[in-house]
Structure 1
Amino acid sequence: MYNHLEDHEWLAQVKKGQTAALACIYRKYWQRLYVSAHAVLRDEQTCEDIIQEIFLKLWQNRERIEIKATLVSYLYSSVRYEVYRHIKTGKVREDIFDHIFERMQAGPDYPHLEYKELYTQIHTIVESLPERCKAVYKLSREEHLSHKQIAAQLNISTKTVENQLTKALSLLRLSLGQVLTLELLAWLLHS
């Protein structure tokens, strides 16, 4: 019934309480929104939860929601906001930052990003880590050694390696929470 409608017409039907119109919007956009969130977070369950939450909020706020631009831009903005919120609050897997660093090292293809400055900030954070923590981080992330190999090389237990790596990544996440901007996340979500 609603498949032939444009986005603004679907939204008008949603505002009237038509669940079938919401279902059409969901079917049209959920996969693209999921892929966008997953490109950054790399966590299937979290991304599914984010998309479900966005559509739930759209439904719950349907009577008072005012979308200034297009529906698709509103939905993508909602995804960016939720991804940013998850990163800022630390509700992400630790390896998300490895993925971000890898993409940044691949080259600055986003013109507004102060790439070298951000890379320098990351390097500064790593260098300011406590010595053992820094050594474990570098062996893990730069030398790509396993926990067992790091433990043998540093003459420490694998549990200590895990603890030190967790500490390093937590400090990076905390420090980068101040550095990562919505502009960077927009680039990550769309590249």
Structure 2
Amino acid sequence: MTINYSIESILVDVIQGDQAAFAKLYRHYRTPAFKFCLYLLKDQEEAENMVHDVFIKIWERRTSINPSLNFNSYLFTCLRNMAFDYLKQVEKSQLLKQRYMDRMQSVHEEEADDQEARLQLLQAAINSLSDKRKVILLLNIEGGKSYQEIAELLRISKNTVKNQLVKAKQVLREKLDFALL
């Protein structure tokens, strides 16, 4: 009964704004409060933070504390509620992270599917070109040949190579733009 009386008298002083009494209250409950939070959270740093947070709230709300009620129950109920709120927040955060990862995976798969579809469209558009334009285009794009090199290979003028490439690229642009609409 002596402990309750001393806690009760300390609480009366805390309610009146006595910081030294608050320090006594903190020292008295710090270790059991920490062990309780650690048991619930399994995280030492978060348990320490939670004990500090609950005592900050107690100081801020000290005028609403009833010293004749069981402070021990009040404190540990506050800690339990804070721990449960924290755990819900962690669970929600992990759920959001998982949803984000799932979405990123599906976006990546969709992009791969889109890229495959675009490549098929491009190949179909290239196949629709005349044989001469197709050869000139492939020598330029895949072979990396210059207009001059293509002209020499095919024994045509450099100007013809340039014109055929411009027309081939125009046909491809039109077919791909139409297909993507």
TM-score, normalised via structure 2 length: 0.46
Higher relative contact order (CA 8 A, sep 6+): 1
Larger Rg belongs to: 2
